[in-house]
């Protein structure tokens, strides 16, 4: 069996990145020991890979030999070179991404075996296609735009980049990992691209776009084309355009046949349609990217907090979908007599229900947009958090237990409550509460228990593929050797760390971090070490 950072597939988005290969030679014979004669890895051997321990080696029934090797990918070009050197005709594959396949070959006294892993690489400046919610804010007519990450649980902003240009219609392209926007600074409209370094780069002019128009609404469709819209206003002709981001050219455009004012819209990954809020009719609307037509539906506006009647002053300036098909918008506060744009809402596009999520910064410019990536690739869907996150986020642990019940940690006991979970997460590997030193075996069991609990919550809350690693960890906790426990500990750590760089799902709220309170309620399970 071959693993890379604990998985059979791994995605690299920054350089240099060190990846850890685990090679496991398993004796699958049901009754007899087997002899591992040779072990080869043609792709990595030129870089120094060897199987340890030296071969041949006899492997008992149910036993295995494990070899570790670390390799550093210094650049995107390294990944391309490995893809050209492997035996897989599908690699390195078409740009913008590249990949390589690493295969391990083993010969036994009773036959042969092989196992492969695949590593995919993205160009260095691309952004991860995850649940990040980007918020752009620009002053009308002024060459100054800021881009921030918004926390969908609190609407708090973390600055990401700034640019000396007036851009809007921000949208994330899931096919190449860049945010795109329209620079509305006169005299020409320009296509702008923003990568992981935060730099806003002009790709090229878009002479087909109306000179007098400002294009506030933008979204990337499922096929990777970029749709922008400019609604009615003084001297403005309602118009739309569809842009090929690979070539930076307009492939279709036209005048909108229906009266609509949409400050931002977004593509629903569930049905592929474009949704926004029509400020003219105060209703949700579906936008046809082929004709520019709009179809309003649902009730008129959300009700305000005073009369319960539709709030006709309600304004939506930013819109984005998450991967589940929930629409998030930033709009007016629905309570009180003054109605600033400062509230994040979750919108059910089927029923038209607006649910307040959080209150954030007050918008004074009225030129804001969201950019999100609701079409994550299979390699980037798995969000995870390590044990440090769960030991300080009690609400996340409570949600984990509510989502699947008790957690069986084998020799560590059964976790039935948040307090017991915290007891495991804060348990010292070096000594008991009575300050009795733990043996090396006991220390490894404590560490494996923490990682197993963490992996279970990553699986329940975020859908991470951690269950096989959890099962192996429980087995070696009960009866494994020190070497086996160390191997499983490294594997679980890699599993729990793999998706740590990806944003938490927009609909998830793990609560505030509180180390002191979490530690104060920690209680060890009854059968813990």
**pLDDT tens by residue, 84-93:** 999 888 889 8
- The answer, yes or no, to whether residue 239 has pLDDT greater than 50, is yes
Nearest to 470 by CA among 446, 440, 495: 495
DSSP lists the bridge partners of residue 183 as 167, 190
Contact criterion met (CB below 8 Å) for 416 and 402 = no
**pLDDT tens by residue, 316-345:** 999 999 988 999 999 999 988 888 999 999
- Local confidence band at 380 (pLDDT 50, 70, 90 cut-offs): very low
| Average pLDDT for the chain | 88
Whole-structure pTM over 0.75, yes or no? no
**pLDDT tens by residue, 271-286:** 999 999 999 999 999 9
Please give the pLDDT value at position 364: 73
**pLDDT tens by residue, 437-458:** 888 888 888 899 999 999 999 9
Ramachandran quadrant class, 463 (left: phi over 0; alpha: psi -120 to 50; beta: rest): left
Exposure letters 260-296 (e unless 16+ CB within 10 A, then b)? bbbbbbbbbbeeebbbbbbbebbbbbbbebeebbbeb
Cα–Cα distance, 98 to 87 (Å, whole number): 15
Please give the pLDDT value at position 259: 82
**pLDDT tens by residue, 480-508:** 778 888 888 888 888 888 777 677 888 88
**pLDDT tens by residue, 187-204:** 789 999 999 999 999 999
Please give the pLDDT value at position 140: 65
Decide: helix, strand or coil at residue 394: helix
The DSSP call for residue 439 is P
The DSSP call for residue 412 is G
- Local confidence band at 377 (pLDDT 50, 70, 90 cut-offs): low
- The answer, yes or no, to whether residue 135 has pLDDT greater than 90, is yes
**pLDDT tens by residue, 51-83:** 988 999 999 988 889 999 999 998 888 999 999
Please give the pLDDT value at position 141: 62
Domains in the chain with CATH codes: 1-124 (2.60.40), 133-372 (2.120.10.30), 381-529 (no CATH)
Contact criterion met (CB below 8 Å) for 84 and 61 = no
Please give the pLDDT value at position 378: 44
Edge-first strand listing for the sheet containing 17-26: 2-4, 17-26, 64-73
User: Residue 89 has which token pair?
Assistant: 């005709």
């Amino acid at each position: 069996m071959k693993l890379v950072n604990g998985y059979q597939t791994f995605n690299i988005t920054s350089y240099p990145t060190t990846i850890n290969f685990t090679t496991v030679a398993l004796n699958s014979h049901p009754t007899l020991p087997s002899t591992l004669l040779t072990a080869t890895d043609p792709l990595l051997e030129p870089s120094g890979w060897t199987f340890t321990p030296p071969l041949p080696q006899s492997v008992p029934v149910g036993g295995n030999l494990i070899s570790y090797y670390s390799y550093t990918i210094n650049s995107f070009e390294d990944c391309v070179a490995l893809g050209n050197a492997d035996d897989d005709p599908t690699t390195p594959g078409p740009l913008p991404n590249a990949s390589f396949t690493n295969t391990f070959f083993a010969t036994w006294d009773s036959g042969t075996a092989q196992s492969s892993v695949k590593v995919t690489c993205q160009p260095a400046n691309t952004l991860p296609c995850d649940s990040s919610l980007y918020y752009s804010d620009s002053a009308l007519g002024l060459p100054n735009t800021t881009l921030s990450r918004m926390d969908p649980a609190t609407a708090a902003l973390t600055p990401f980049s700034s640019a000396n240009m007036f851009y809007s219609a921000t949208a994330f392209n899931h096919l190449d990992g860049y945010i795109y926007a329209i620079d509305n600074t006169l005299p020409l409209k320009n296509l702008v691209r923003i990568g992981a370094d935060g730099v806003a780069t002009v790709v090229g002019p878009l002479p087909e776009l109306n000179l007098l128009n400002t294009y506030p609404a933008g979204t990337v469709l499922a096929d990777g084309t970029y749709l922008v819209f400019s609604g009615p206003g003084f001297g403005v002709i309602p118009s739309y355009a569809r842009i090929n981001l690979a070539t930076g050219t307009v492939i279709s455009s036209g005048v909108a046949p229906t009266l609509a004012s949409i400050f931002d819209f977004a593509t629903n990954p569930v049905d592929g349609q474009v949704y926004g809020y029509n400020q003219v009719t105060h209703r949700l609307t579906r936008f046809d990217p082929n004709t520019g037509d709009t179809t309003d539906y649902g009730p008129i506006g959300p009700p305000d907090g005073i009369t319960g009647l539709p709030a006709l002053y309600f304004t939506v300036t930013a819109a984005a979908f998450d991967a589940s098909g929930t629409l998030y918008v930033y709009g007016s506060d629905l309570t009180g007599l003054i109605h600033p744009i400062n509230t994040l809402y979750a919108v059910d596009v089927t029923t038209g229900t607006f649910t307040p999520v959080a209150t954030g910064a007050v918008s004074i410019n009225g030129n804001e947009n969201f950019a999100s990536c609701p079409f994550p690739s299979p390699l980037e869907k798995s969000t995870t958090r390590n044990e440090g996150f769960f030991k300080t986020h009690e609400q996340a642990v409570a949600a984990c237990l509510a989502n699947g019940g008790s957690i069986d940690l084998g020799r560590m006991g059964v976790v039935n409550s948040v307090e017991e979970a915290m007891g495991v997460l804060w348990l010292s590997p070096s000594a008991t509460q009575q300050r009795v030193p733990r043996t090396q075996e006991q220390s490894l069991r404590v560490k494996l228990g923490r990682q197993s609990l963490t992996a279970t919550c990553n699986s329940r809350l975020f859908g991470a593929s951690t269950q096989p690693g959890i099962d192996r960890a429980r087995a070696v906790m009960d009866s494994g050797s020190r070497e086996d426990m160390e191997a499983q500990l490294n594997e679980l750590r890699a599993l729990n760390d793999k998706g740590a760089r990806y944003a938490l799902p927009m609909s998830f709220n793990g609560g505030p971090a509180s180390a002191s309170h979490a530690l104060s309620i920690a209680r060890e399970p009854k059968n813990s070490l």
